[in-house]
Amino acid sequence: MTDFAATRPLFDLPEGVIYLDGNSLGPLPRAAAARVARTVTREWGEMVITGWNRAGWMAQPRALGDRIGRLIGAAPGTVVVGDTLSVKVYQALAAALEMRPDRRVVLSDTGNFPTDLYMAEGLISTLGRGHELKCVAPETVEDHIDGEVAVVMLTEVDYRTGRRHDMARLTRAAHAAGALTIWDLAHSAGALPVDVAATGADFAAGCTYKYLNAGPGAPAFIYVAPRHAETARPALSGWLGHAAPFDFEPAYRAGRGIDRMRVGTPPVIQMAALEAALDIWDGVDMAALRARSLALGDLFIAEVEARCPALALVTPRVHRDRGSQVSFRFAEGFAAMQALIARGVIGDFRAPDIMRFGIAPLYIGEDDIRHAAGILQEVMEGRLWDDPAYRQRAAVT
Amino acid sequence: MTDFAATRPLFDLPEGVIYLDGNSLGPLPRAAAARVARTVTREWGEMVITGWNRAGWMAQPRALGDRIGRLIGAAPGTVVVGDTLSVKVYQALAAALEMRPDRRVVLSDTGNFPTDLYMAEGLISTLGRGHELKCVAPETVEDHIDGEVAVVMLTEVDYRTGRRHDMARLTRAAHAAGALTIWDLAHSAGALPVDVAATGADFAAGCTYKYLNAGPGAPAFIYVAPRHAETARPALSGWLGHAAPFDFEPAYRAGRGIDRMRVGTPPVIQMAALEAALDIWDGVDMAALRARSLALGDLFIAEVEARCPALALVTPRVHRDRGSQVSFRFAEGFAAMQALIARGVIGDFRAPDIMRFGIAPLYIGEDDIRHAAGILQEVMEGRLWDDPAYRQRAAVT
C-alpha cells in the first residue's frame, strides 16, 4: 500500500502553489536535481565518451523502458525510451499500416491530441497510397470499426475532457475486425493502471513529462506487443535500432525486438531526470494510486459544483470512464484560469472553453483540493476574469 | 582573433587525460553544470508549466538554431534545434524527394555515416516507389551526379577518414543536374567554417554533441534554404511545427519557414547544456579556429609519422580536403586504442582498422598533441596491443 503522505515530500513544489497541472508537466522530483548534476559532472564531465559504457548510458533506454513497462502492464523487454511522442506515434503507425497493406483507413477520434493526427496526416501524405484519416466522435469509435480499418489510433484519456476510452473493449473490437490498435498513453502512464498486455494492444506510446514527472522535454516511450516485435519494420530506421550499431554496416538490419524502435542517440541528461522520477514510481501501487486519484477527483467535483455553479463538468462522473483529470466548461475559462493561476492554483486551459485540473496523488491531497476549490470560488464570485490583465494570451497557453 | 589559451579553462576536462575524441562527444563546458542546474531547479522546479513562457523554453529551439546558424553560414531564422540527427536527415530527405517527384536516385557515398544511409533506406521502403539509394566511393560522387539523381546526400567530413568533400563544388554539380543537396554537418559544425548559404546547400543537418560540446544526447539541428522554407513539406508533421500549435486545430497547417521542421516537445534540459556550450562558441572566430585546427593536425601527423612508422595516415594531407580529425590505419587499431586510452589519451576506433583523433582547438594545444604522440609511440613500440585486456570489445566502441 502506497503512503501518499510520504510521496509528497519527494517533490520540490513551488512555494505557495497548488499544482493541478501535472497532466501537462509534472513537478520536479527532489532527487532529480542531484541525479542530473551527477550525470553532467561525474559522468559527462569525468568520463566523457567512456560514459556510454561506464555510466551505462547506452543501456538506459531499455532499462528505463522496463521500469515504465511495469506501470503500463508491459513485460520486460517490450518498451524502449527515446525521441518524442510524436515520433513514436509515427513509428507505430508506419509499422502498423505496413502490417495491413490492403486496408486504407486510420480510425481516430476528434478528442485525440492533435499531434497524433498531424503525424498520421504527414505519414499518409508521404505514403501517397490513398489512406484516409477518419476522425469520429469519441463515443462512436466502436461503431466505425469495420473491415476497411487498418489501425485504430486513440489516446486512452482525452486531453481536454478527461474522458477515458475502454481500451480492452475497443482493442477487442479492432481485432475482431482485423484491425490493429495504437494507444497513446500520454494521459495514462502514471495516471491510472494500464495493462497493455492484457488488453491486447498492438502498439502503445506515451510521454514521461506529465504524470511521470520526468521534466520538460523528457523522452517518450514506445511499446510493441511481443507478437509483432520481430516483424514490425521501423520506418525511422536509425543506427541505434540496428542489430549491430557499432559494426557500422552499410545496410540496415533491424535489431531484436523492441531495440529496433530506437532511432538516434538517446538524451542522456533528460534520461537522468527520468531515472530519478521513476525511483518514486517504483514504490507506487497503481491500484492504490487509482483509488486515491478517483477519490480526490470526486472531492474536487463535489467542491466545485457546490461552490461554482457557472462551471459545467465535462469529465465523466463514472469512475470507469475517466482518467486522472477533471475539466469544466466555462465561456470565460481562459481569463478565469489566468486569474486562478495568479492566486497560486495552477491548472490550465484548452480552447475553446475548457479549464483542466490534473489530479496527481503523489503530491496532491484533500487539503489542496479543498483549498483550490475555495480559490476558484473567489475567482468566480468576484468575476475576476473581467480583469483585462487576465485576457492576454501568451505564446503557450 | 580568438585566444585559444583562454578557451581551454572554460572546459572541465578529466584529470590526467588528453582528450582527442571531441569528434565523438565533446567535453563538459564548465558553465554547463550551473546552467543545467538552474534550468532544473529555478525553472522546472519553481516555474513548472509556466517555464514554457517565463523561462523561454518554447522559443529556445529557434534561438539556439540562430546561434548555430552563425557557425555554419546560415541566416537567422533558417536553423532550428530538435530531435536527433537521424530524424532531421529523414525530414530533409523526405521533403527533398517530394520536390523531385520524377527522379528516383538518392546519391550518397560509402563514407557516409551509417544512420544517414539507414534512414534513407527506411524512407525509401516507406515510400515504396522504387527509389534507389546509390552509394559510391567518396572520390567519385561527382561522376555519378546525373539527371536521375533526385538528391545528393552527403556528410561533409567522413567520420572515419576525416576526408572532406568540396561542398560548394558538389552542390553546384548537383544543381546543374537538377538535383538537390542534403549536407550532414556532424563533423563540420564547430570543426571548420561552413557556409551553407554561399555554397547553395538546399538542406543541412547536424548534431551538437561533438565539436559543439553540448553533451551526450544533445539535440540535432536542421537548416532549410530560405528558397525552400515555405514549400518543403515536413513529413514528420508534429504539433510544434504547426502554424498555431496551441490552437489545437484538427488539421495540420505547416508553420512559417523553419518552424515547420519542429516536431514534438523540445528537450529543455539538454537545451540548457547546449546554451552554455554555445556561449563559448559565440566568441570564436571560425577562420582562426580552422587555422589552428589545421596547424595542430599537421603537428600531430608529423609527430606520429616520425614516431610510429606502423601507422598509415588515411586523412588527406591537403588542408582543403580534410576536416578536424586525423585518422591512421593499423590492423591492431582496436587494441592499440584501448592501450592508449588506458594511458590517458582518449581517441577512438572505427572498424575495421581506423584509429581516430579529433582535434578541437578550444581545449587542445601543442603540448597535448606532442604528449599524445609520445604515449602513442610507447604503445606502438611496446606492442601493448598484445595485452588480452585490450582486445575485449565493449558494447560501445
Does residue A136 sit in the same domain as residue A247? yes
Q: Which of A210, A273, A296 is nearest to A25 (CA)?
A: A210
| C-alpha span between A89 and A223 (Å, rounded) | 10
Q: Which of A178, A116, A112, A109 is nearest to A149 (CA)?
A: A178
CB contact under 8 A, B128 and A123: no
Residue of A39, A41, A43, A48 for testing the chain B interface, max B β-carbons within 10 Å: A48
For chain A, how big is the Rg over CA atoms in Å? 21
pLDDT beyond 80 at A342: yes
CB contact under 8 A, B36 and A396: no
Domain contains B93? yes
Give residue A2's pLDDT: 81
CB contact under 8 A, A48 and B233: no
CA distance A168 to chain B (A): 26
Point out the domain boundary residue: B219, B252, B281.
Answer: B281
The per-residue pLDDT for range B207-247, each reduced to its tens digit, is 999 999 999 999 999 999 999 999 999 999 999 999 999 99
- Cβ-Cβ contacts under 8 Å, A83 against chain B: 83-84, 87, 264
Query: The C-alpha cell of B314 is what?
Result: 588515411
Domain contains B80? yes
Does residue A95 sit in the same domain as residue A21? no
B197-224 b/e (C-beta count within 10 Å ≥ 16 → b) = bebbbbbbbbbbbbbbbbbbbbbbbbbb
Q: What is the DSSP letter of B13?
A: P
The per-residue pLDDT for range A321-340, each reduced to its tens digit, is 999 999 999 999 999 999 99
Q: Mean pLDDT over residues B120-134, rounded?
A: 98
Give residue B396's pLDDT: 52
Query: The C-alpha cell of A33 is what?
Result: 536535481
> B residues 142-201 near A, CB within 8 Å?
none
**Contact status, residue B350 vs residue B159, Cβ threshold 8 Å:** yes
Does residue B192 sit in the same domain as residue B255? yes
Give residue B392's pLDDT: 80
**Contact status, residue A265 vs residue A240, Cβ threshold 8 Å:** yes
**Contact status, residue A208 vs residue A277, Cβ threshold 8 Å:** yes
- Asked whether residue B155 is marked as a ligand-binding residue, the answer is yes
Burial zone of A370 (CB within 10 Å; 0-12 exposed, 13-18 middle, 19+ buried): middle
Across the interface, which of B49, B57, B90 has its CB nearest the CB of A348?
B49
Percent of chain B with pLDDT over 70: 99
Q: Mean pLDDT over residues A171-193, rounded?
A: 98
| C-alpha span between A280 and A6 (Å, rounded) | 10
CB contact under 8 A, A46 and B121: no
Give residue B393's pLDDT: 73
pLDDT beyond 90 at A1: no
Domain contains B37? no
Tell me, what amino acid is at A29?
P
* CATH number, domain with residue A333: 3.90.1150.10
Give residue B1's pLDDT: 62
Domain that residue A222 falls in: 56-281
B134 is catalytic: no
Instruction: Name the percent of chain A in helix, strand, coil, to the closest 5.
Output: 45, 15, 40
Point out the domain boundary residue: A281, A307, A326.
Answer: A281
Domain contains A264? yes
* Beta-carbon pairs below 8 A across chains A and B: 296
- Cβ-Cβ contacts under 8 Å, A24 against chain B: 49
* CATH number, domain with residue B164: 3.40.640.10
Does residue A250 sit in the same domain as residue A190? yes
pLDDT beyond 80 at B38: yes
CB contact under 8 A, A216 and B397: no
Does residue A232 sit in the same domain as residue A306? no
Positive or negative torsion for Cα A257, A258, A263, A265:
negative
Cα separations (Å) of B222 from A25, B139, B189? 27, 26, 12
Asked if ipTM goes beyond 0.90, one says yes
Across the interface, which of A48, A58, A135 has its CB nearest the CB of B250?
A135
- Cβ-Cβ contacts under 8 Å, B348 against chain A: 49
The per-residue pLDDT for range A4-54, each reduced to its tens digit, is 999 999 999 999 999 999 999 999 999 999 999 999 999 999 999 999 999
Domain contains B296? yes
Q: Is the peptide bond prior to B234 cis by the omega test (within 30 degrees of 0)?
A: no
pLDDT beyond 60 at A261: yes
| C-alpha span between A280 and A284 (Å, rounded) | 7
A261 touches chain B (CB under 8 A): no
Burial zone of B308 (CB within 10 Å; 0-12 exposed, 13-18 middle, 19+ buried): buried
| C-alpha span between A370 and A302 (Å, rounded) | 10
Does residue A237 sit in the same domain as residue A328? no
Domain contains B395? no
Positive or negative torsion for Cα A10, A15, A18, A22:
negative
For A235, name the nearest residue in chain B, comparing CA atoms only: B122
What is the count of structural domains for chain A?
Answer: 2
- Give the residue ranges of the annotated binding site of A for pyridoxal 5'-phosphate: 85-86, 113-116, 155, 184, 187, 209, 239, 265
Q: Which element (helix H / strand E) includes B123?
A: helix B114-127
Does residue A258 sit in the same domain as residue A126? yes
Domain contains A333? yes
**Contact status, residue B10 vs residue B280, Cβ threshold 8 Å:** yes
- Cβ-Cβ contacts under 8 Å, A237 against chain B: 118-119, 121-122
CB contact under 8 A, B110 and A219: no
Does residue B314 sit in the same domain as residue B333? yes
pLDDT band at A283; cut points 50, 70, 90: confident
Q: Give me the residue label for grid cell 515555405.
A: B230
For A25, name the nearest residue in chain B, comparing CA atoms only: B49
Q: What is the DSSP letter of B254?
A: B
Q: Mean pLDDT over residues A79-85, rounded?
A: 98
Does residue B191 sit in the same domain as residue B319? no
Q: Which element (helix H / strand E) includes B152?
A: strand B149-155
Give residue A351's pLDDT: 87
Q: Which of B36, B31, B112 is nearest to A268 (CA)?
A: B36
Does residue B296 sit in the same domain as residue B383? yes
B231 touches chain A (CB under 8 A): no
Does residue B360 sit in the same domain as residue B253? no
- Asked whether residue B184 is marked as a ligand-binding residue, the answer is yes
- For B178-191, the DSSP string reads T-EEEEE-TTTTTT
Q: What is the DSSP letter of B143?
A: G
Q: Mean pLDDT over residues A88-104, rounded?
A: 98
- Cβ-Cβ contacts under 8 Å, B36 against chain A: 36-37, 40, 269
For B29, name the nearest residue in chain A, comparing CA atoms only: A45
Query: The C-alpha cell of A103 is what?
Result: 486496408
Point out the domain boundary residue: B260, B281, B302.
Answer: B281
> B residues 30-59 near A, CB within 8 Å?
32-33, 36-37, 40-41, 43-53, 57-59
**Contact status, residue B321 vs residue B167, Cβ threshold 8 Å:** no
- Cβ-Cβ contacts under 8 Å, A119 against chain B: 236-238
Q: Output phi, psi for B103, to 5 deg.
A: -115, 150
pLDDT beyond 80 at A396: no
B248 touches chain A (CB under 8 A): yes
Across the interface, which of B43, B85, B126 has its CB nearest the CB of A235?
B126
pLDDT beyond 50 at B43: yes
CB contact under 8 A, B83 and A264: yes
Give residue B397's pLDDT: 45
A347 touches chain B (CB under 8 A): no
- For A8-19, the DSSP string reads GGGEEPPTT-EE
| C-alpha span between B236 and A235 (Å, rounded) | 12
B203 - beta bridge partners?
A: B182, B224
B95 touches chain A (CB under 8 A): no
Does residue A246 sit in the same domain as residue A364? no
B21-40 b/e (C-beta count within 10 Å ≥ 16 → b) = bbbbbbbbbebbbebbbebb
Neighbours of A331 (CB within 10 A): 12
Q: Which of A312, A328, A317, A327 is nearest to A294 (CA)?
A: A317
Across the interface, which of A40, A135, A251 has its CB nearest the CB of B33?
A40
Q: Alpha carbon B208 to chain centroid distance? A: 6
In 3-state terms, what secondary structure has residue B159?
A: coil
Residue of A15, A99, A126 for testing the chain B interface, max B β-carbons within 10 Å: A126
Give residue A397's pLDDT: 45
- For A276-341, the DSSP string reads HHHHHHTT--HHHHHHHHHHHHHHHHHHHHHH-TT-EE-S-SSGGGB-SEEEEE-TTHHHHHHHHH
Neighbours of A305 (CB within 10 A): 14
B24 touches chain A (CB under 8 A): yes
Domain contains B35? no
Q: Where are the beta strands (DSSP E) in chain A?
A: 11-12, 18-19, 28-29, 79-82, 105-109, 132-136, 149-155, 180-184, 203-207, 220-224, 312-313, 325-329, 345-346, 348-350, 354-358
| C-alpha span between A229 and A99 (Å, rounded) | 12
